[in-house]
Every structure is written in C-alpha cells, then in structure tokens.
Amino acid sequence: MKPSKRIKNITSGGSDGWEIFYKARKMMASGIDVIELSIGEHDIRTDPAIINAMHESALNGHTGYALVPGIAELRALIANRTEEKTGVKTSIDNVIVTPGGQSALFAAHMAVLDEGETAAYIDPFYATYPTTIRSVGALEKRIVTTAKNYFQPSFKQLDDATRKTKSLLINSPNNPTGVVYNEATIKNICDVAKKNDLWVISDEVYDTQIWTGKHISPREIENMAERTLVVGSLSKSHAMTGSRLGWLIGPEVIISKAIDLATNMTYGVPGFIQRAGIFALEQGKEFEEKISRPFNQRRKLALNILKDFPNLDHIPSQGAMYIMLDIRSTEMNGVSFAHELLDTEKIAVMPGESFGEAASGHVRIALTLEDKKFDETFRSVCKFASNLSVL
C-alpha cells in the first residue's frame, strides 16, 4: 500500500528546509551545548498570568468541546482589534479561531483554491508556504525578489507572475527577512490583485513587531476587504507559540466555509486555551509592546555590532524577530555556512536557502537570546563570517 500522491507531494520528495534545526536538536539531545538562533520562538515564555488564566479556565470546566468557529467573546475581541488597527468594519462573522496561524494559512488556501489551480507567493518565504499550497492540491508560483531591492516585489514582477493564478500569499513584516512592505509595495499588490482578480492571503502574525515604517494590511485598502484573507495569531504577539491559537479573517462567505472545514478537521480549539486568549487580548496594546520590545533592543545590539565588521552586510530589519546576515563575502552559500558554523562554533542559524532562492547567500538569525548572551553570540557569528570573508 502507498500513500496518496497529494501527501507525497507536500515536500516533492525534497528538503523541507529544516535540516540545520533538526541537526542542532539532535546534537543537543546527545549532550552537546548548542546555542540556537534558528527558530522564531521567544526566549521569555508565556506570561504566568496567561498560564494562570488558562489553568483557572480548565479547573472551571472549560475542557469540553468548544464552538468550532471559536468562542463568541474571543471572536469579538479579534474583530474589534482588527477594526481598530485597520478602520475596516469587522464582525465575528468575519473571524474563525484556528489552532495556530498555520491552520489558518491552510484553511485560507483550501477555501479559495480548487485542485490544480495556481497559488503565488513571494520568495523569500516562510518554509511552510510552498508545502501548504501543495497540501491543498494546488500548484505553486514563486515571485523571486532580490536583496538589492530589499526583497520588495515590483508591480511588473507581481503582474507577470499572477496573470494565471488564483491567489497571492504575502507576509509583512516578513519572515525571514524582517522587511516591512512599504506603501508602494502594498499598492502594487492591491492593484495587481484587482487587475488579475486574485485572492490576497496576508500573513500578518508579526504585525506587533514593527521597528521602522508602518504595517499596512491590504485589507484596509479600498475594495480589498472583499478579496483579502488575513492570517493572525497570538504566537508572536503574546508569546503563546505552544498554545496554538490563531485566526483567519475574511469575507463571511469564506469564513462560513472555513468553519465547515474546521468541523471536519480540527473541530475547534480547546475552550480553556481560548479563555486564556481572551485574557491575553484584554491586556491591550501595552502588553503587546512589552512582548515585542526585547527584539527591537536586540536588533539595535546587532546593528551596533555590525559596525565592527565592515566586510559584512545585512538586510535592514524593519520588523519581526530576525536579522538577515549577508555572508556572500565568504563565497559560501547559506547552507554550507550554517553547517560550518554549527560544527565549529556550536551555533545554529537558518540558511537563507531554507526560505527560497532569493535569500541564497544569507542566514537568518533569530533575536531570541537574552541581551548579554545575544550580544556575545551574534558577535561570534560575525567574527566567524568575517574570518571566512575573501573580500
């Protein structure tokens, strides 16, 4: 007996981009002391007050089946938060609560794509983008940007790539690059979506981590709410990665069908986790800023350290919890460099190639160590790269 073609095609028989991460974890399990700058997870875990809210909710009996679309109170909080940010009228009927942002990403593509249709996404991309598209039986189309233009796609690139596609997946602030799409890029995305009749799926899980510039959701642009699906999550904004609490926002007709999908797939999110999410969102913007602040501080530390290494370049980090180090001066690609760094220095970073062709020759460094340790480790990475540099 053999697995289905669809499930075999998820990784196309090739790499899923996570080899360095798995290698580092295997080394750590064997007792080797490895410093991880690979995965985008907070070094300070979920706030104890949120955990207490979750615990009390479970003790109070919220351990049975919860409503599949999500608890109405949580959906309303998400809708209100979105409306305040964008100015676009949003009701609970525009929101479904999902088991994390990844589930919302899958649901969005499942809802708007028929098997064999084509879905576009921008390179560099988060590692699960192409595999999510393949998972729903769709074909993928990459829009390859360049480091020279700070990975901002042009109108022509977007237009040329999407004339025969059904959807366009975007991510700003971007993982892995830390780039925030500027107003011109968002306008290009929206203009192309209208011209080529596209669904825009906007992954906005890093929207609370903006260091320079402004986050603009395509949903807030005129006549775009009807064709935009927004993926959100408490993972990054509230350090709740393990709680798996996300959402999808979109037109009522799509959300109603996403609820049908959830009924036959996840059957909702545990009530005690949703209650913790309600508590978390009720803490307001100040709490979100407290969670995001350390990453901006470490970004500043990294930029200061890079002044001591003039032969190294980087992509200006405008948001998210990463910095992309350009290591092309070593004449190594990101994969080779990451393996060498892990083997020699016992420091794990993610190769740019894990996130697509455009990021080749770069490595993504997560800003996920306490300040003093991050300062020491990032300096070690820069020194290692500088010593290998041939320029």
Instruction: Give 318-366 as a 3 state SS string.
Output: CECCEEEEECHHHCCCHHHHHHHHHHHHCEECEEHHHHCCCCCCEEEEE
Is the same domain home to 255 and 322? no
Query: Any idea what the CATH number is for the domain that residue 322 is in?
Result: 3.90.1150.10
| Domain presence at residue 32 | yes
Is the same domain home to 117 and 192? yes
Is the same domain home to 162 and 179? yes
Per-residue model confidence (pLDDT) at position 13: 63
Burial environment of residue 264 by CB neighbours within 10 A (0 to 12, 13 to 18, 19 or more): exposed
Question: Looking at 263, 283, 303, which one is the last position of a domain?
Answer: 283
Distance CA 352, CA 309 (A): 20
Domain extent at residue 72: 62-283
Is the same domain home to 349 and 257? no
| Domain presence at residue 172 | yes
Is the same domain home to 237 and 320? no
**Average pLDDT of the chain, as a whole number:** 96
> Could you tell me the two tokens for 50?
């949120």
Is the same domain home to 373 and 336? yes
Question: Looking at 235, 250, 283, which one is the last position of a domain?
Answer: 283
Instruction: Quote the number of domains for the chain.
Output: 2
Question: Looking at 261, 283, 305, which one is the last position of a domain?
Answer: 283
| Domain presence at residue 149 | yes
Q: Which amino acid is at 378?
A: F
Is the same domain home to 96 and 221? yes
> Could you tell me the two tokens for 170?
């975007």
193: helix, strand or coil? helix
| Domain presence at residue 51 | no
| Domain presence at residue 160 | yes
The tally of CA atoms less than 13 A away on the side-chain side of residue 111 is 29
Per-residue model confidence (pLDDT) at position 359: 94
- Phi then psi dihedrals of residue 369, to 5 deg: -125, 150
Query: HEC string of 68-89?
Result: CCCCHHHHHHHHHHHHHHHCCC
131-184 residue pLDDT tens? 999 999 999 999 999 999 999 999 999 999 999 999 999 999 999 999 999 999
Residue 389, C-beta contacts closer than 8 angstroms, at least 6 positions apart: 311, 312, 329, 330
Distance CA 128, CA 11 (A): 10
Is the same domain home to 204 and 347? no
| Domain presence at residue 264 | yes
Is the same domain home to 297 and 272? no
Is the same domain home to 268 and 301? no
Is the same domain home to 356 and 246? no
Is the same domain home to 207 and 347? no
Query: Any idea what the CATH number is for the domain that residue 101 is in?
Result: 3.40.640.10
Q: What is the pTM of this model?
A: 0.96
| Domain presence at residue 56 | no
Please report, rounded to a whole number, the percentage of residues in the chain having pLDDT higher than 90: 94
pLDDT tens, N- to C-terminus, the chain (391 residues): 989 988 888 887 666 678 899 999 999 999 999 999 999 999 999 999 999 999 999 999 999 999 999 999 999 999 999 999 999 999 999 999 999 999 999 999 999 999 999 999 999 999 899 999 999 999 999 999 999 999 999 999 999 999 999 999 999 999 999 999 999 999 999 999 999 999 999 999 999 999 999 999 999 999 999 999 999 999 999 999 999 999 999 999 999 999 999 999 999 999 999 999 999 999 999 999 999 999 999 999 999 999 999 999 999 999 999 999 999 999 999 999 999 999 999 999 999 999 999 999 999 999 999 999 999 999 999 999 999 987 6
- Nearest residue to 121 via CA among 130, 111, 112, 131: 130
